[in-house]
Amino acid sequence: MAGVGSRSGVSYDARGLVEPHADMPDNVEVDGGRARFDASDLTIRQINMALRKLIYDDGITDVTILNPASKHSLAVGILKRCRIHFEGSPGWFACGLIDGPEVTINGRVGWSVAENMMSGVVTIERSAGSLTGAAIRGGDLIVKGDVGARTGIDQKGGTIIVLGDVGINTGFMMQRGRQIICGNAGMNLGDSMYDGEIYVAGTVASLGVDCVPGAWTDADTELIERKFRIHGLGDPPEFQKFVCGKVLHNYDQLEPSERKLVIH
Amino acid sequence: MCGIAGVIHRDGTADIGAELTAMLQSMKHRGPDSTGYAVYGPADDLVVIRFVLAEPNKSTGIGMAERLERNRAEVESRLAKIGAEVATVTNDTGYAFRATIRYGGDLKALADYLEDVPGCEVLSLGNSLEIIKDLGDATTVSDQYHLGSFRGTHGIGHVRMATESEVDLASAHPYWAYPFADVAVVHNGQLTNYHQWRRRLEQHGHRFQSECDSEIIAVYLAEYMSRGLTLETAMKHSLDDLDGVFTYVCVTGNQLGVAKDEMAAKPLVLFESDPLVAVATEEVAIRSLVKREVVTRDPYEREVLVWQV
């Protein structure tokens, strides 16, 4: 494998930063359409190899991964309808680029969970790091604890629900989709957002550039009640709605050809 | 991209050398070029000095061994001349030394006098602080300096990926807050008003070991603490005075504190229990220390937290 040089003159691979080869783990238990394995002693590559083989090659539709121990980049790029359950806490970049899976995580997750998710559901029982749902395009992402900064940055669709608090720059440059924040929001909420809706039940430290309070409609009530009902989140609290003020970015003023380029 | 970590035991001493090594090794992907530790053993009447006489990659060659031996003798001679009673001088490599001395004089004068010896750089000075740093990953440095058996109450560590300066000891963290005893810092981020603060602090008589922006934080905090501010207050001031993106961990003889800038751009995750507090850039480092599912959280923007031993 070609090495990428560093200033120390040691190649990238020689420093042990990548895992070019891995053996398929032999501790997978299969029971009909379900499977489970313990990830404690497995590398990231081994975990993802096993997961992909089970889902794509063996036709398994329900996989439980025990003890992910905060390892990074687990269950990334799964493009098939299936159920994945993490018994424990994955690390950074979990479930990125997925299209279809229904994922449950009974621990916490690190930065950038469900980044670029296209469709599916990711439910996290505890907290999440920063950049949660970055550039998400579809599906539902539910965090039952608090999340860090920049939740849903560059969000292009889908719904992010946070039962706890969110940090600074939540919804930064959001383009479409919805965020439902049940706790408090940090500074610069919705800064430079293009479109979409942000609902906040708690306090907002400050609104970002061109983020303004929006008019509540029946559709907002219906959406929130439906999402809470589907995901078993109980009765929703009362929310304030925030939208784009259309001063900084205004799609409505674009020519039809430009709208096609930007919106679609 | 770098990785930082810190642990503090509130119920006595522990194997903090081994603990930090496990945490730092789990974040090797964040920086394999150099690894550094600032660890605190039990406080002693003796002053511990960690110093180097050459950069690792310049410590060999024709006549180098003789030069290092000559300079080491000169350091010991100067310690005697300045009135220090030398208890021990040991070394784990040909260029890195640990001395324990009895000394009641001015530490700044001592550090300046020693650093006048060719190639000498004082990495740390204090009654319990020891800074150890070298090239390579955490396991390599720990094995080299026998950190697996180091017991203490608290410590911090750093893995570095060289991006803007050399792969050498001068650019490796942690940084000692010259000339203040027992204060050290590790940092992940970039300070954009580094030169402004460096000039300001140099006007107050401080000198800097490196061209690294992170060193500013250590000296800044120690400068303010020397004026009577608590560590926590000094750290809160730093959020207004330091410009850029940063998360840093500062340790003193009996405290460990963390601070995050107002953009929360750099990661930090925190685990807190009654006996133990652990902080790290990534959760995987916490899990290398606590082998079970634990509740952790990310401190928010402008958050400053300080724990006591």
Question: Is B277 exposed, middle or buried, given 0-12, 13-18 or 19+ CB atoms closer than 10 A?
Answer: buried
pLDDT for A6? 43
Residue A222 domain flag? yes
Any idea what the CATH number is for the domain that residue A151 is in?
A: 2.160.20
- Identify whether residues B23 and B171 lie together within a single domain: yes
- Distances B295 to A122, A127, B39, B224, B302 between C-alpha atoms, Å: 19, 9, 25, 34, 21
Which chain A positions have a beta carbon within 8 Å of B300's beta carbon? 148-149, 167-168, 186
- Identify whether residues B65 and B210 lie together within a single domain: no
- Identify whether residues B179 and B245 lie together within a single domain: yes
Which chain A positions have a beta carbon within 8 Å of B161's beta carbon? 6
CA of A19: which chain B residue's CA is closest?
B29
Which chain B positions have a beta carbon within 8 Å of A126's beta carbon? 295
- Identify whether residues B298 and B201 lie together within a single domain: yes
- One DSSP character per residue, B248-267 reads EEEE-SSEEEEEE-TT--S-
B212 is a catalytic site residue = no
B214, B185 contact by CB (below 8 A): yes
* CA–CA gap between residue A124 and residue A131 (Å, rounded): 14
- Identify whether residues B68 and B8 lie together within a single domain: no
- Enclosing domain of residue A44: 19-263
Which chain A positions have a beta carbon within 8 Å of B135's beta carbon? 8
* CA–CA gap between residue B88 and residue B91 (Å, rounded): 10
When CB atoms are compared, the residue of B167, B269, B293 closest to A8 is B167
* CA–CA gap between residue A205 and residue B302 (Å, rounded): 13
Residue A47 domain flag? yes
Each residue's pLDDT tens digit, A226-255: 999 999 999 999 999 999 998 887 767 776
Query: Distance, in angstroms, between B151 CA and closest chain A CA?
Result: 26
Which chain A positions have a beta carbon within 8 Å of B286's beta carbon? 70
Residue A12 domain flag? no
Count other Cβ atoms within 10 Å, centred on residue B184: 30
* CA–CA gap between residue A77 and residue A73 (Å, rounded): 10
Pick the residue of B301, B302, B303 with the most A CBs within 10 A to test the interface with A by mutation.
B301
The residue whose two tokens read 């724990």 is B307
pLDDT for A263? 53
Q: How many residue pairs bridge chain A and chain B with CB atoms within 8 Å of each other?
A: 88
Nearest alpha-carbon partner for B71 in B47, B52, B98: B52
Query: Distance, in angstroms, between B185 CA and closest chain A CA?
Result: 24
- Identify whether residues B160 and B292 lie together within a single domain: yes
A168, B262 contact by CB (below 8 A): yes
B213, B197 contact by CB (below 8 A): no
B246, B187 contact by CB (below 8 A): yes
Count other Cβ atoms within 10 Å, centred on residue A71: 27
Asked if B283's CB is within 8 angstroms of A91's CB, the reply is yes
Could you tell me which residues of chain B have a Cβ less than 8 Å from any Cβ in chain A?
A: 28-29, 32-33, 135, 137, 161-162, 166-167, 262-265, 267, 269, 282-284, 286-287, 293, 295-298, 300-301
Which chain A positions have a beta carbon within 8 Å of B28's beta carbon? 15-17
What are the strands of the beta sheet with B85-91, ordered from one edge?
B85-91, B96-102, B47-52, B121-126
Residue A3 domain flag? no
Residue A6 domain flag? no
Residue A2 domain flag? no
Query: Distance, in angstroms, between B135 CA and closest chain A CA?
Result: 9
A205, A222 contact by CB (below 8 A): no
- Identify whether residues B88 and B170 lie together within a single domain: no
- Identify whether residues B250 and B166 lie together within a single domain: yes
Question: How is residue A24 annotated by DSSP?
Answer: P
| CB neighbour list of residue B88: distance below 8 Å, 6 or more residues apart | B98, B99, B100
Per the structure, the count of domains in chain B is 2
Residues 129 through 158 of chain A touching chain B, CB cutoff 8 Å: 129-130, 146, 148-150
Count other Cβ atoms within 10 Å, centred on residue A247: 9
A68 and chain B: CB distance < 8 Å anywhere?
Answer: no
pLDDT for A247? 87
* CA–CA gap between residue A162 and residue A130 (Å, rounded): 13
- Identify whether residues B72 and B32 lie together within a single domain: no
Q: Which of B2, B120, B212, B250 is catalytic?
A: B2
Asked if B162's CB is within 8 angstroms of A16's CB, the reply is no
* CA–CA gap between residue B95 and residue B270 (Å, rounded): 36
Residue A14 domain flag? no
Q: What is the mean pLDDT of each run of 10 residues along chain A (264 residues)?
A: 40 59 90 96 94 97 97 96 98 97 97 97 97 98 97 97 97 97 98 96 97 98 98 98 89 68 54
CA of residue A176 relative to chain centroid, distance = 15
Residue B135 domain flag? no
Give the β-pairing of A99-105 and A119-124: parallel
Asked if B269's CB is within 8 angstroms of A110's CB, the reply is yes
pLDDT for A229? 98
Give the ipTM. Answer: 0.88
> Which amino acid is residue A151, in one-letter code?
T
A91 and chain B: CB distance < 8 Å anywhere?
Answer: yes
Structure tokens at A91: 């690390």
Identify the H or E element spanning B184.
Answer: strand B184-191
Asked if B298's CB is within 8 angstroms of A69's CB, the reply is no
Predicted TM-score (pTM) of this structure:
0.92
Residue B251 domain flag? yes
Asked if A10's CB is within 8 angstroms of B264's CB, the reply is no
Asked if A6's CB is within 8 angstroms of B161's CB, the reply is yes
The 3-class SS string of A166-207 reads ECCCCCCCCCEEEEEECCCECCCECCCCCCCEEEECCCECCE
* CA–CA gap between residue B269 and residue B71 (Å, rounded): 43
Pick the residue of B34, B261, B284 with the most A CBs within 10 A to test the interface with A by mutation.
B284
The residue whose two tokens read 């500074």 is A187
Which chain B positions have a beta carbon within 8 Å of A146's beta carbon? 297-298
Q: What's phi and psi for A260, nearest 5 deg?
A: -60, -40
Count other Cβ atoms within 10 Å, centred on residue A217: 11
Residue B138 domain flag? no
- With a cut of 70, which residues of chain B have pLDDT below it? none
- Identify whether residues B172 and B123 lie together within a single domain: no
Query: Distance, in angstroms, between A9 CA and closest chain B CA?
Result: 10
Any idea what the CATH number is for the domain that residue B183 is in?
A: 3.60.20.10
Which chain A positions have a beta carbon within 8 Å of B292's beta carbon? none
Residue B139 domain flag? no
Query: Distance, in angstroms, between B269 CA and closest chain A CA?
Result: 8
- Enclosing domain of residue B104: 44-127
Q: What's phi and psi for B161, nearest 5 deg?
A: -105, 115
Query: Distance, in angstroms, between B291 CA and closest chain A CA?
Result: 8
Asked if A148's CB is within 8 angstroms of B161's CB, the reply is no
Per the structure, the count of domains in chain A is 1
Residue B8 domain flag? yes
A14 and chain B: CB distance < 8 Å anywhere?
Answer: no
A171 and chain B: CB distance < 8 Å anywhere?
Answer: no
pLDDT for A159? 98
| CB neighbour list of residue B106: distance below 8 Å, 6 or more residues apart | none
Residue A53 domain flag? yes
CA of A167: which chain B residue's CA is closest?
B300
Any idea what the CATH number is for the domain that residue B65 is in?
A: 3.30.70.60
